[in-house]
Amino acid sequence: MKRLWAAVLALVGGSCVLAGCVTHDYVGSSFAPSSHVEVFYDASDVPAEYRVIGHDRAEATEYMTSEQIVQDIIKKAQSVGADAVLLGGVELVAVGATTNTSGEDLTKVKYYATQDGKLHTRHKQTGKWTQSSHTADVRDKVVTAEFLRKQ
């Protein structure tokens, strides 16, 4: 059962990766789209002629790589006219949990035939029950960035 659950999660996660499931929460100014965006990882590397035009919070499934999310951030930055992005942190945030529970009644079923040839069932009540449960956290990967534009 655990293998089935893992396969389902992998399939769903894989399809989101292929579909590009990145959501952006962008707050800031927009300009004509830009064709090239520089990427900075440290504020001390940003030249003085850049100014902040907005902040982006990109969220995707934890199965997407940070590089895939950064590529999507670059596309978003181009769409709002940014010339550069200053990447912030990467974090995993819990967005929920899924629980799968399965059980089995251990009642024994016996079959018997009557003299007229009809088949009947006889349930032997044992009062036993077996159950297993699996809970998995659902997490998203969040990458923050500042969008920059030359003055």
pTM exceeds 0.75 for this model:
no
Q: Which residue has the tokens 């035009």?
A: 53
- The answer to whether the CB of 98 falls within 8 A of the CB of 134 is no
Is 50 exceeded by the pLDDT of residue 17?
A: no
Q: Which domains does the chain have, with CATH numbers?
A: 21-96+137-150 (3.30.110.70), 100-131 (no CATH)
In angstroms, the CA 147 to CA 143 distance is: 13
Confirm if 147 and 53 have CB atoms less than 8 A apart.
yes
| pLDDT tens-digit readout, 54-104 | 999 999 999 999 999 999 999 999 999 999 999 999 999 999 999 988 887
Q: Are 87 and 143 in contact (CB under 8 A)?
A: yes
From the centroid of its chain, how far is CA 73? Answer: 17
Cβ-Cβ contacts under 8 Å for 124 (sequence gap 6 or more):
107, 108, 109, 110
